[in-house]
Amino acid sequence: MKNFSSIYEEYFMFIYKYLYSLCLNADLAEELTQETFFKAVLKINTFKEDSKITTWLCSIARNLYLNYRKKQTKIISDDYILNNLTSVDNIEYNYITKEEHKIIKQKIKLLDDISQKVIYFRIYGNMNFKEIGNIFHKSDNWARVTFYRAKNKLKEGELDG
């Protein structure tokens, strides 16, 4: 196994993007990323090398995020999300009105769980298809196809909501 500083350097941005896609808050994502690696150092002996290190780190990160959410009484408002919505390579999102963003968010919630996550990781988390594929133990092509099929469902109005 690599030394931990090289693991930190190699996977920091991956974990940060993953957490950002969950919380949509850069400061919180950075804080939770730091905490993820701190916990990983403490629990390195629990890592089974038969699985990917990204899977192990993502599970630590996700648990930290869920614990954070449980402790919070304040939920991120729709206005905050809409005001901070960013897009990777889809300029359409840059000029859609807030009302249209609300409709899109409602439609995304009607997608199956996997499609929702892929859309959120790609758009909100700024993740590339390879990173998304790694999270699901699939190829980058699988992530690309899943993203575009979900996006097409949203565009074509195949969802009733």
What's the pTM value of the predicted model, to 2 decimals? Answer: 0.51
Q: Cα–Cα distance between 15 and 34 in angstroms, integer? A: 9
Confidence of residue 150 (pLDDT cuts 50, 70, 90): confident
Q: Name residue, tokens 């994502």.
A: 29
**Which amino acid, 85?**
L
Answer whether residue 130 is part of any domain: yes
* pLDDT for 25: 86
Total domains in the fold of the chain: 2
Residues 63 and 88 in one domain: no
Nearest to 71 by CA among 23, 117, 24, 27: 23
**Domain of residue 54, residue span:** 4-71
The full 3-state SS of 41-97, as one line of letters, equals: HHCHHHCCCCCCHHHHHHHHHHHHHHHHHHHCCCCCCHHHHHHCCCCCCCHHHHCCC
Answer whether residue 161 is part of any domain: no
Residues 56 and 40 in one domain: yes
| CATH number (domain holding residue 51) | 1.10.1740
Residues 84 and 142 in one domain: yes
* pLDDT for 141: 92
Does residue 90 register a pLDDT over 50?
A: no
Tokens read off for 112: 């199956």
* pLDDT for 78: 47
Does residue 142 register a pLDDT over 90?
A: yes
- Which residue has better confidence, 101 or 116? 116
